Amino acid sequence: MMKKLYSALMTAFNDDGSINEAGIREMIRYNIDVNKIDGLYVGGSTGENFNMSHDQKEQVFKIAIDEANGAIDLIAQVGSLDLNESKYLAKFVTDLGYPKISAVTPFYYNYTFEQIKNYYNEIVKDVDNKLLIYSIPALTGVSLSMEQFGELFENPKIIGIKYTNADFYLLERVRNAFPDKLILSGFDEMLLPALALGVDGAIGSTYNLNAKRAKAEMIAFDDGDIDKARQLQHDSNDLITALIKNDIYPSLKLVFEEMGVHAGVTKAPMSKPTPEMRAGAKAIYENYLKEN
């Protein structure tokens, strides 16, 4: 079965930090109509979720499901340091019709595993939905072991992982221990090794811009053309390196602008675009994404 590719949906903001609804709709349309994406991960790190108010989160979830209108799969990231908010949002998006939810591991306070387990079980307790654990140790400081994933999977509503972790030894162990669980790779720059370890697909920010190349890489891998897949990963990593050097979150939006998609700006305390950033984004588009 062909592996699934999901874009991590960005949130378009206006200069004052309010939601730019038209921009969000444009990005979703581009993902559906041009990228032919399999799904969107809504409300994650790329969506600047942790910079948003509760009302803004609700607004984005409503816009995304309305614009997608059943055309693709949607995953709503509802995790929050406020467990009551997570539970509320889990019910909110389930009522809207999201077929899957996800939640980042609770972070900052060095929670025990028992506290983390309680958090996940509470989020899904009162909703008829399926949950993906969002594991991103580089940003949360929370690393789960294979045994801990196994304990979480004892809850039948917890169906898999958004695995944004550079520990590929752990990925191999988890993949083999839980062959029926859904594992979606979260590091765009490591798509090829993740495919080699048997992930079911990938979720990433750069797929908003680079879905065509990522899909070609997946096809080359499935066809056994590893040299082609490696070259495509190399080309993607050149793009990713350039984005990181140019300040990745605002740059993703600036490159989208170069592609004719109005993506708005990032929300403070993230950077506002500078003339240098705009020039860098134009060069990224010209060098890595513009088709001859």
Q: What is the 3-state secondary structure (H, E, C) of 192-232?
A: HHHHHCCCCEEEECCHHHHHHHHHHHHHHHHCCCHHHHHHH
| pLDDT score at 1 | 61
Whose tokens are 């879905």? That residue is: 211
Asked whether 211 and 4 are in contact (CB, 8 A), the reply is no
| pLDDT score at 203 | 98
159 carries a ligand binding annotation? no
271 carries a ligand binding annotation? no
Please identify, in words, the CATH class of the domain defined by 4-223. Answer: alpha beta
18 carries a ligand binding annotation? no
Asked whether 286 and 209 are in contact (CB, 8 A), the reply is no
11 carries a ligand binding annotation? no
46 carries a ligand binding annotation? yes
Residue 36: what are its φ and ψ, rounded to 5°?
A: 50, 45
- Is 109 marked active-site? no
pLDDT in tens, 69-85: 999 999 999 999 999 99
Catalytic residue from among 4, 100, 162, 267: 162
Tokens read off for 102: 């996800």
| pLDDT score at 37 | 98
Q: Where are the domains of the chain?
A: 4-223
| pLDDT score at 106 | 96
Residues 6+ away with beta carbon under 8 Å from 209: 239, 252, 255, 256, 259, 289
164 carries a ligand binding annotation? yes
| pLDDT score at 101 | 98
Closest CA to 68 of 3, 14, 24: 24
- Is 162 marked active-site? yes
Q: What is the pLDDT along the chain (292 residues), one digit of tens a residue?
A: 679 999 999 999 999 999 999 999 999 999 999 999 999 999 999 999 999 999 999 999 999 999 999 999 999 999 999 999 999 999 999 999 999 999 999 999 999 999 999 999 999 999 999 999 999 998 888 899 999 999 999 999 999 999 999 999 999 999 999 999 999 999 999 999 999 999 999 999 999 999 999 999 999 999 999 999 999 999 999 999 999 999 999 999 999 999 999 999 999 999 999 999 999 999 999 999 988 5
| pLDDT score at 138 | 81
Cut 0.95: pTM above it: yes
In DSSP terms, which residues pair with 204 in a beta bridge? Answer: 7
Print burial letters for 99-111: b (CB count within 10 Å at least 16), e (below 16). Answer: ebbbbbbbbeeeb
